Structure 1
Amino acid sequence: MKYWKIGCSWLLGLMITSCTNSTLELQGNRFLTINTVIRVNQIEVTRDKNVGVDEREWHTPERVVQFRNAVEKGFPGAKITWAFSWLALHDTTANYREIRQLVVDYHHKYGDEITFIPGAYFANAYNSTEQVNRDLHEGLKRVTEIVGDSYRPKSILAGFLSAKNQQYLAEKENIHVCQGNIWSQYAIDNQDGDGAVSYPYYPSIEHFCKPAQGEKDQVDCVNLDGWTMDFLAARRQGFAEGVNSRMGVGPIETLDAHGADMGLQEMMHTTAIHFDDGFQRNDFAWVTNCWELCLDIDTQGLTDWLTSIRQRWPKVKCVTQGEFGLLWRDTYKKNDFNYRFFERGSGIGGSDADKEIMWYMNKRFRLAILKDLNSGKKFVIDFTRYDVKVEEPVSGSTRNWTLYGEINQKRTRQQDEPVCVDQLTDIQKEVICSYYPEVFD
């Protein structure tokens, strides 16, 4: 009887998924994706080498149930993405065996996606391209063995993943969605990778942060951000000026750093950047969050955030990472996107209340303009051109995979000093005017 019930739940989930995917469109909708990571060690740099703490005590079946219940309570019917590290896929202890079975049950019950995370983040900082490809192939094979029925995930969770590895995913594994970019990350955790756009794009074969310029250099793998950032906080590097540059919807930088009430306020502020103004500018909106299972943060905060989202934007679609990426892929056959984002600071952490920021992102360049509300002055803090030749580092050789432009928001080089809009060169103005003449009005 137990297996009959699971089979019925699986069939019902399949019917719901099929109906949803056949009618859902990208334009005119707001999307939420939620990921979680299950590891054994904090950073599993290779299959047999770890950096950071052992996380076994935090990965228990009870925490899995608590986390999934928190999601369902806050957003009934939500579908989420579970990513297992290499060790978590193979660990033979009772906890990990039970965790894997629980997540398979959730896949059948809710339509959740189960996938692999190479290196438990930052695989390219430590491994060769070829080794990462082997890990991807064998990790995906192990996921299929665990789930059964020839199951294949629609996406990979990776933190950062090189263009060469994303090309392998698309051409050899037939997977066309990868969370392979943590937008703006620099001087935090174990890898840097600023320089990309924050919404989906097809990467160039030259660099995972560079949107492909045409068919010849386009990798057929939709590159997704890891978690949605507060743009004002994110312009800093690491913990510069005593604030966390990763603040946005992530629980570490909000609920843990600022408490339940103020943390939720910042999470909703960042969400609204996309679901309010961003939705009007881009005709669709997307917010994504990764809540690692090991976090010692009350999951009531997750429930409260999801409940607040549903109350304020009742038509939000909470789908798996793979479903969202494939929906974007169905809509965009090439990088003809033109994203615009505007934010006025919340006053929390690095989200300066006296600042406004405007981001422009297309396949040719990204541009950020910061406005000081006290003086009224506008400064260009980032101008990164993508229509120039770039090259990725050798995999395994460095932590810094940043794609630097002419001016970079992190201000790590002398040339990154912000400049007034009217101080841009004639060539820079010409490139910007071809897309956004209003910048110089």
Structure 2
Amino acid sequence: MKNIKTILFCCLFASFVSNNICAEGTSYSSVDADQSKLTLKENRFLTFNTIIRVNQIEVTRDKSVGEDERAWHTPERVIQFRDAIEKGFPGSKITWAFSWLALHDTTANYQKIRQLVVDYHHKYGDEITFIPGAYFANAYNSTEQVNMDLHEGLQRVSEIVGDSYRPNSIVAGFLSAKNQQYLAEKEGVHVCQGNIWSQYAIDNQDGDGAVSYPFYPSIEHFCKPAQGKEDFVDCVNLDGWTMDFLAARREGFAEGFNSRMGVGPIETLRAHGYDKGLQEMMHSTAIHFDDGFKRNGFAWVTNCWELSLDIDTKGLTKWLQEIRNRWPEVKFITQGEFGLLWRSEYKENNFDYRFYEKGSGIGGSDADKEIYWYMNKSFRLAILKDLNTQKEQIIDFTRYDVKAQEPKSGSTRNWTLFGDINQKQTRKQDAPISKNQLSEEQKALILKEGINLGF
């Protein structure tokens, strides 16, 4: 009897340990065990990253532009921020990205912040990673310098976390195809937040032309999906934050609207106030979690909230609570984990993303407009419909089956991949056209991808 009791005790103890302690001494392995059963299809995913830096834009390791943000980066703000997320969505796992200076700053605040985030990694399973250049590395630095920053930045993250830790992803804002290729082949990192979908004429770098959901980039251009093995980069390229498609079709602040409006707090909570801002955040979320889920078989919403933002986190908590109430089955995992789930499902760019939106009536999300997006390996195509006139026009047709070329790193802010027609309408050829104005070659390519527009 004594031996049986001992055996039972050992089994129970082993079960407790396996469910509560992982190899690195953390307490989230039971969550990881559940996640190991996750599949991409038939699930809704939420990812969230935050940026911790010293200067607003760290152009190089020793040169910065914009505001010094030390005053906004305190241990107290870190605690308040993480508590706001846990309150809104218990059990969530987020991604923390440190800039070069934030990884190396020796002041008491940054030392404490780094320790707090390591504690969150052990407590919640949060991902800790590096952001080169604080968003715009390729606008200012050579390819070789960015590779060096990636290598040494990742090393520094491993040193800070310990236990041979290695992140699954990088946060970059924009990152060239050459640098993403380096990440995959030399650093073994296969997920990168490497494009900000539709960004043009805002902030310090432009990069319109990509697909808004995950894809493998071509070696030719980070906005172009790889066409085959010969130009394939094994790095899942992720968007930075989910945008309202109708707002995003504009150039910068055209017509007095912010083209980056979606789930981000600057363009919603700050610009439109708590109630309207939250309404727009939920509208942009529902585009994916409702209709988009039905069309694509899975759905993904992502957000970035810089720690330095002077925006009340009650809006963040409320947004997360609303998501849990409306879609209780949502999986809130790290950016790297989501990217690797996509990578396990897709071995090549055989995706076929389709999206539909009717405007919210807030900001640039026109209440009298509908937009349809088609995104695949060969092209992206957008059709805008005026609900008053019922007139439909093609506002974007960007082909990926043709050659592309990135600018030389450090030479320009404009890294946009322009197609036959671009949604921002910055060139004469970007004037919207009817479906019948497409060339026979364009029509054939669209039909080849199984899209019937009634030509």
Q: What band does the TM-score fall into relative to the shorter chain?
A: over 0.9
Question: For residue 186 of structure 2, what is the aligned residue in structure 1?
Answer: 172
1:321 corresponds to: 335
Query: Partner amino acid for 1:415?
Result: Q
- Look up the equivalent residue of 2:348 and give its one-letter code: K
Query: Could you tell me which residue of structure 1 aligns to residue 176 of structure 2?
Result: 162
- Say whether residues 1:34 and 2:54 are aligned partners: no
TM-score of the two chains, using structure 1 as the length reference: 0.97
Counterpart mapping for 1:287-436 below 5 A = 287-436=301-450
232, 254, 257: which one aligns with 2:268: 254
Q: Which residue of 2 aligns with 1:276?
A: 290
- Percent identity among equivalent residues? 77
Query: Could you list the runs of 5+ residues in structure 2 that have no partner in the other structure?
Result: 1-19
Q: CA deviation at 1:92?
A: 0.3
Deviation at 1:422, TM superposition (A): 1.5
Would the alpha carbon gap of residues 395 and 360 (structure 1) be closer, same or farther in structure 2, given more than 3 Å must change?
Answer: same
Structure 1 residue 377: Cα displacement:
0.6
Matches within 5 A, 1:173-212: 173-212=187-226
Aligned AA (1:279): F
Alpha-carbon spacing, 1:33–1:437, altered in 2? closer, same or farther (3 Å): closer
* 1:117 is aligned to 2:131: yes
Partner of 1:82: 96
In 2, distance between residues paired with 1:358 and 1:11?
Answer: 48
Q: Which residue of the partner structure matches residue 4 of structure 1?
A: none
Q: Which residue of 1 aligns with 2:234?
A: 220
Work out the CA distance in 1 between the residues paired with 2:230 and 2:36: 30
Structure 1 residues 277-332: Cα deviation after superposition (integer angstroms, max 9, x where no partner): 00000000000000000000000000000000000000000000000000000000
SS in 2 for 1:440: coil
State how far apart, in whole Å, the 2-side matches of 1:272 and 1:144 are.
37
CA distance in 2, matches of 1:18, 1:318: 12
Cα distance between partner residues in 1 of 2:226 and 2:448: 19
Uncovered stretches (5+) of structure 1, i.e. residues with no partner: 1-6
User: For residues 351-405 of structure 1, what are the alpha-carbon distances to aligned partners after superposition, in whole Å with 9 as ceiling and x for unaligned?
Assistant: 0000000000000000000000000010000000000011110000000000000
- In the other structure, the counterpart of 1:20 is 34
SS state at 2:166 partner: coil
Offset of 1:8 from its aligned partner?
4.8
Q: Kindly indicate whether residue 117 of structure 2 is the aligned counterpart of residue 103 of structure 1.
A: yes
Structure 1 Cα separation of the partners of residues 168 and 346 of structure 2: 17
Instruction: Say yes or no: does 1:91 pair with 2:105.
Output: yes
Asked if 1:54 corresponds to 2:68, the answer is yes
Q: 1:63 to 1:216 in 2, by over 3 A?
A: same
Q: Quote the Cα distance in structure 1 between the aligned partners of 2:147 and 2:353.
A: 32
Q: What amino acid maps onto 1:145 in structure 2?
A: E
Quote the Cα distance in structure 1 between the aligned partners of 2:343 and 2:451: 29
Look up the SS of the partner of 1:209 in the other structure.
coil
Supply the distance in 2 between the matched residues of 1:216 and 1:425 (Cα, whole angstroms): 29
The TM-score with structure 2 as length reference comes to: 0.94
How many matched pairs?
A: 436
SS at match of 2:32: helix
- What is the distance in 2 between the residues matched to 1:189 and 1:199? 22
Q: Matches of 1:33 and 1:89 in 2, distance apart?
A: 23
What's the CA shift for 1:420?
1.0
Q: How does 1:221-240 map to 2 (within 5 A)?
A: 221-240=235-254
Residue by residue, what CA displacement relative to the aligned partner does 1:82-111 show, whole Å, maximum 9, x if unpaired? 000000000000000000000000000000
> Offset at 1:215?
1.2
